[in-house]
Amino acid sequence: MTEFAVASSPAVRIQRLAVIGLGLIGGSFAKGMRQSGLCGEVVGYDADPLARNLAVPLGVVDRVTPHLAEAVDGAELIMLAVPILAMESVLAQLAELDVEQAVITDVGSTKGAVVTAVEQAFGKVPARFVPGHPIAGSERSGVEAADAKLFERHKVILTPLEQTEPAALDLVTALWRALGADVEHMALADHDEVLAATSHLPHLLAFSLVDTLASRSENLEIFRYAAGGFRDFTRIAASDPTMWRDIFLANQDAVLRSLDAFTRDLGRLRAAIEERDATALLGVFTRAKSAREHFSNILARRAYVEPMQTQVVNFIASPGGCVQGTIRVPGDKSISHRSIMLGSLAEGVTQVEGFLEGEDSLATLQAFRDMGVVIEGPHHGRVTINGVGLHGLQAPPGPLYVGNSGTSMRLLSGLLAGQQFDSVLTGDISLSNRPMGRVAKPLREMGARIETSEDGRPPLHIQGDSRLVGMDYSMPMASAQVKSCLLLAGLYASGRTSVTEPAPTRDHTERMLKGFGYPVAVDGAKVTIEPGHKLTACKIDVPADISSAAFFMVAASIAEGSNLLLEHVGINPTRIGVINILREMGGDITLENEREVGGEPVADIRVRYAPLKGIDIPVDQVPLAIDEFPVLFIAAACAEGRTILRGAEELRVKESDRIQVMADGLQTLGIRAEPTHDGIIIDGGQMQGGSVASHGDHRIAMSFSVASLRAQKDIQITDCANVATSFPGFVELASSVGIMVRLEENT
């Protein structure tokens, strides 16, 4: 017997494969394995004489037999590819044969029914049985449709049981991957529920729609003028009727649950049309459109749902050049987040211009759609929010997934603590490793019931109907996210909620609450809010993000001959630390056309090259530039003399340990950088080239892109997939003004 314990080995090989059922799926598997060279012999069996007669001439199998016992004799792998309702008789025959040494697998689309049939036939499920289901197919059927490449870039779901032998699972996994399939493992019950919703229900609807229209007297005209959308949707109605009859009967319970849910929603949609309820219709259509785009984007780019290292995006930044031109960077992320949150809680329709269409902000937008808020857009930065009022949110259908957005998770935790429904906040693998105790602890003191993992990390389980009580809270560490979280919880608390910060942090929440007509009292470092008021819809113009502009400010400051104008940048006093620090280092930065837009100060920022000098960064500027320090470290590396940063412990718990990661990268480039417990010491010098790791942190990746302007050789920056999270279009915009950064080819 061939050894096959190592699933990842490309050399896995078996001597004999038996394929029972030579239809589209079974025939394609047989043909693909035969062409792969991984099987010494492929033997086919099918009850249909015509299929048997065609299988060898079509190159599907090496030989065919009308006898099941002959087909499986000596086989190391037996593939069951017969219809669900025919499986029982095949399994009953197999149970009478000596197949104990063979691995058995199947391709049935309902795993519960198959496993039950296996158990009934064998008395128990054999350890070498591996349930499987390829998510691939065609409206064509039969052995003549067999395609050796059918499974390339398609998912194959395996649903191993507790007793499944690991070596058997490894073999089946390896052979499917040899055919180009993307193999995933899933719990059996989950598989049947998911497939009932995503495959079985759409097929049922397509069959039903075509049957209904074909039964109408004007059927010829209907089909003559049917547009592409109709043809695309109803294409699956040309699938094998017998196979689908069997699937619906085998997966009856899960299909009925999906069908019942769809029927209820369809009834509500019918009522909305009958009652001319434009808002309800718009809600369904915008949620559907955005959900499809949102989840398609997530799955295509894998930025949210898989570990960062599986999405290989590296940058190559080349040395030299200067920065010239006039640009506007994307909208402020902090304000974009808050515009969706407060606009959803307001009464009336809020119009937002300049919304940042990055993954973080879109995650917040999707969360509120999941809670029943009708939101149009975004389209070219324009978003329309049909607010539901402070008490109008609805329970989401499942966990609220916020991707990589720490702002979304922390602010939403305060808002959700005051709702009547339970909720769960989850994020991607990076966010799931970030501490949430700083918001969970004070919220619990207000009466919120929040559960986290043992070490205070996501997911956050928030119980509804908590009796929140306002409190006076002195923050041990300055954090705008913690402050905003507690203020949002204070909207739902009994009594007054006050937050005192040890140092100034961004005040976008306070400003925007006032913009929506909600009273907020600010007395020095203390911010106070009381319940009992309402938010009234308004218009919001989101300024360009100073955190995004910071990369270009530093770039123009360090590259000789640079002269750059950054338009419409927010210069909120709690955010201008990067300007103050660069000026103290000798930077040539001027503010032009200063104005106020929607309660936020805005200006055009002109930056010219100037020799920089090292400084001892003032501690009072640290909270005002906390997100901009990675690129400020690049400025320090290009400055003459020593730069010292203290009081920046928060940098240790961002998307990465930004102090250590930046120190490691600078040292790789030949710069002396010594991390301390709360900061860093950097001695300016000449940067070389090399490979630096961003650790999935977008700000690290963009900062080292800027560093290339003063480097001697190319800088390769690894793990840059999350740049799109914070700054969509960064590479293109940077290249347009003279920063020579590009995606690494062939990654």
Which positions are catalytic? 627
Coil, helix or strand at residue 8? coil
CA 502 centroid distance within chain:
35
Residue type, 406: G
Sequence-ordered list of residues with C-beta below 8 angstroms from that of 559, at least 6 positions apart, any chain? 321, 322, 323, 609, 709, 710, 738
3-state secondary structure of 464: coil
For 32-71, give the secondary structure using H, E and C: HHHHHCCEEEEEEECCCHHHHHHHCCCCCCCEEECCHHHH
The number of beta carbons lying within 10 Å of the beta carbon of residue 166 is 11
- Decide the pairing of beta strands 182-185 and 155-158: parallel
What's the rounded Cα separation, in Å, for the pair 516 and 554? Answer: 35
Contact 640, 612 (CB under 8 A): yes
User: Do β-strands 315-317 and 715-718 pair in parallel, antiparallel, or remain unpaired?
Assistant: antiparallel
Phi, psi of 580 (to 5 degrees): -60, -45
Q: How far apart are CA 155 and CA 572, in angstroms?
A: 48
Angle at 634 between CA 633 and CA 637, to 5 degrees: 90
Q: Transcribe 58-112 into DSSP letters.
A: TTS-SEEES-HHHHHTT-SEEEE-S-GGGHHHHHHHHHTS--TTSEEEE--S-HH
Indicate the burial class of 275 (C-beta count within 10 angstroms; 0-12, 13-18, 19 or more): exposed
Instruction: Write the CB contacts of 374 (distance below 8 Å, at least 6 apart in sequence).
Output: 279, 282, 283, 286, 287, 385, 386
User: In this structure, are residues 704 and 692 in contact, taking their beta carbons and an 8 Å threshold?
Assistant: yes
C-alpha distance from residue 60 to each of 10, 30, 51 (Å): 22, 6, 10
Nearest to 256 by CA among 309, 206, 201: 201
Which residues, 6 or more positions from 211, have their beta carbon under 8 angstroms from its beta carbon? none
CA dist 290 → 285, 296, 739 (Å): 8, 10, 34
Strands (E) across 328-426 are located at 347-353, 374-379, 382-388, 400-401, 423-426
What DSSP element (H or E) covers 682? strand 679-683
**3-state secondary structure (DSSP) of residue 322:** coil
Report in angstroms the alpha-carbon separations of 299 from 17, 129, 192, 293.
Answer: 34, 30, 21, 10
φ, ψ of residue 224 in degrees (nearest 5): -65, -40
| Cα dihedral: 108, 111, 115, 116 (round 10) | -110
Among residues 489, 478, 477, which one has the least CA distance to residue 444?
489
C-alpha span between 540 and 536 (Å, rounded): 12
> Which of 329, 397, 330 lies closest to 359 in space, CA to CA?
330
Tokens of 406: 């720490």
Residue 171's SS3 state is helix
Q: How far apart are CA 87 and CA 80, in angstroms?
A: 8
Question: Omega before 378 cis (within 30°)?
Answer: yes
The identity of residue 336, as a single letter, is S
